[in-house]
Structure 1
Amino acid sequence: MKIAIFGSSGRTGRLLCEGALARGHEVTAHLRDPDKLADLDPAIERVAGGLSDEPGIARALEGADVAISALGTVDRKANTVLSDATKAILAAMQRSGVGHFAAVTSLGCGDSYGQVNSRLMKLIIKTLAKEIWADKDRQEEAIRRAGIDYLIVRPGGLTNGEPSGEWTELRGGQRSKGKQMIARADVADYILSRCEALPFGNDTVMLV
């Protein structure tokens, strides 16, 4: 299949690009600066464009079967960067007929705040990262309202460790015990495995 990846220059995005190519898929990577992926396989198609660049987003979606967002931000001031970018991608998907969308948000978004085990993490979400999580909530709401088959993945704390091939899916009020950490490589593998078993079925999953 052909997969369009947004946020492709980030740590999770790069793993999605590499993993999708390794699985035999066509990959289109949307990013502001194509040189940031210069070290990756040239078989990955690079499309330059900003998050509000509608023509660039449309080019990245040409012929795609599914789009994946690994967009992130560290801006702690009030902003709508993630939700605005997601709305732009979803609108372009509707125009181009791409019907499946997967997005990485975070554990603690929406109704999953009560599933966060760490008191420190709960405090961070409510204070230092309050605006980041608020916009991720808006991002998730935009996805649900788009009328497109979706998968929202809320990973726990992300690490740069080697993939384990193991993860725990939590839905609804389910909770896990202990530290809620997961390797970015496992998040990427999980999402790609779900892409290979379309449709997503409008699923929201906490992944640890």
Structure 2
Amino acid sequence: MKLTVFGATGGIGGQIVRQALAAGHHVTAVVRDPARFTVTGQRLEVVGSRLDDPQALREAVAGRDAVLSGLGPRRRSDAGVAARLTRSVLTAMEAEGTRRLLVVSAAPLGTAPEREPLRDRAMLSVVGAVLKPVYDDLRVMERELADSAADWTAVRPPKLLDKPLTGRYRVAVGGNPRSARVIGRADVAHAMLAMTDDPATIRQGVGVAY
């Protein structure tokens, strides 16, 4: 497949690029500063571009089978970046007729499963309160997705870890896995690539966790 990856210098985005190349896909990595991007590969194109200008992004998404985005706030002070930049990506995709989009959201936006342990419900509630500006940003982003014509998927991980790829994790379409507490960034990337051609995940929030 021909894939475009936004946020490719981040933890999840970088893993998407590496795993996609290893799987034989052609990858366009869109970054603000190409000098910061160290991944190489024969099927890799690195594009430096402003991410808040839809016109500048059109060439990067034109003719692609799917767009995968690791864009999002890394701290409370970044709140607002996910909705704003995803809006630019959606506008560029609509202009070029590219439909498939997968983005990173967060577990607190998902529906808790039945019989979720009280401890896990409480933990999500506390995290949601502490990081309220971040999750408000992601809620706006998900509303933008829902209002668009894109074939989108919002992947909702819990707490992220830096650990090697395992390929062993749980997936819940339309909600969260029971007791969803942690997952590695490499496995989030793996899940996103697996969902790229999965019609069951289109226009859905999907929880992922160990």
Tell me the TM-score normalised to structure 1 length.
Answer: 0.88
1:24 is matched by which residue type in structure 2? G
1:137 to 117, 129, 139: 139
Tell me the TM-score normalised to structure 2 length.
Answer: 0.88
Deviation at 1:195, TM superposition (A): 1.4
Q: How many residues are treated as equivalent by the alignment?
A: 206
Q: Let me know the Cα RMSD of the aligned residues.
A: 2.4
Alpha-carbon distance in 2 for matches of 1:187, 1:90: 21
After TM superposition, list the pairs within 5 Å mapping 1:107-118 onto structure 2: 107-109=107-109, 111=111, 117=120
Alignment CA distance shift 1:78-1:12 (3 Å):
closer
* Percent of matched pairs sharing the same residue: 27
Deviation at 1:5, TM superposition (A): 0.6
Alpha-carbon distance in 2 for matches of 1:37, 1:57: 18
Alignment CA distance shift 1:33-1:199 (3 Å):
farther
1:109-136 deviation line (CA, Å, top 9, x unaligned): 2545996816345323213x11011000
1:162 to 147, 161, 164: 164
Contact 1:70/1:103, CA 8 A, preserved across alignment: yes
Contact 1:150/1:201, CA 8 A, preserved across alignment: yes
Deviates more, 1:167-176 or 1:93-102: 167-176
Determine whether 1:125 maps to 2:99.
no
Deviates more, 1:33-42 or 1:11-20: 33-42
Contact 1:182/1:207, CA 8 A, preserved across alignment: yes
* Structure 1: unaligned runs, 5 residues or longer: none
Alignment CA distance shift 1:174-1:90 (3 Å):
closer
Contact 1:154/1:207, CA 8 A, preserved across alignment: yes
Secondary structure of 1:108 counterpart: helix
Could you tell me which residue of structure 1 aligns to residue 25 of structure 2? 25
Contact 2:113/2:178, CA 8 A, preserved across alignment: no
Could you tell me which residue of structure 1 aligns to residue 93 of structure 2? 93
